[in-house]
Amino acid sequence: MEKKKKLCAGCGEMTYIWANREGRKLCKQCSYTGVAKLSISKPTTKKPIPPRSQKRSREEKLYAGKRIIYLQDHPMCEAHLPGICTDYSTDIHHMCGRIGDLLLDTNYWKALCRKCHDYVETHPEIAKEKGLSINRLTN
């Protein structure tokens, strides 16, 4: 039985088919030279990395509720920085930061007005002297 020459999908010549790669019939030379790798593949759609984990999303929902209650219980700014304070609290200051369980730990929260909060965040040494911030490493 004699083999028939067929059209090579790689070089376009009538030759003996050596390999069939994903439906593309290739001659021996095209099969080994990597012409088969030039096939058009479908673009892969990767899922984007979420901005926060599911666990952190649940914690932030709990935090939103606790924050409102805490601000209702502490309507006045707890810092009272002279020349800066606007009296009414609008922000929660996390004295030890918001990492891990510290996000929901009300023992390390302070209700501050926006101006005092900005000042405390930009002047950490003064905030530590006044007891508005705590070093995370010593905690």
Tell me what pLDDT residue 127 has: 94
Tell me, yes or no, whether 139 lies in a domain.
no
Tell me, yes or no, whether 124 lies in a domain.
yes
Kindly report, residue by residue over 15-59, the tens digit of the pLDDT.
Answer: 888 888 888 888 888 877 765 455 556 677 888 999 999 999 999
End-to-end Cα distance, the chain:
86
Alpha-carbon distance 76 to 116, whole Å? 12
Instruction: Tell whether 61 and 33 lie within a shared domain.
Output: no
Q: Are 77 and 111 in contact (CB under 8 A)?
A: yes
- SS3 at position 24: strand
Tell me what pLDDT residue 50 has: 92
Number of domains forming the structure of the chain: 2
Tell me, yes or no, whether 117 lies in a domain.
yes
Task: Please enumerate in sequence order all residues whose Cβ is within 8 A of that of 61, keeping only pairs 6 or more positions apart, or say none.
Answer: none
Instruction: Tell whether 30 and 91 lie within a shared domain.
Output: no
Kindly report, residue by residue over 60-88, the tens digit of the pLDDT.
Answer: 999 999 999 999 999 999 999 999 999 99
Kindly report, residue by residue over 86-126, the tens digit of the pLDDT.
Answer: 999 999 999 999 998 999 999 999 999 999 999 999 999 99
In which domain, by residue range, is 16 found? 6-37
Tell me what pLDDT residue 131 has: 93
Instruction: Tell whether 82 and 30 lie within a shared domain.
Output: no
Instruction: Tell whether 30 and 92 lie within a shared domain.
Output: no
Tell me, yes or no, whether 113 lies in a domain.
yes
Alpha-carbon distance 129 to 12, whole Å? 80
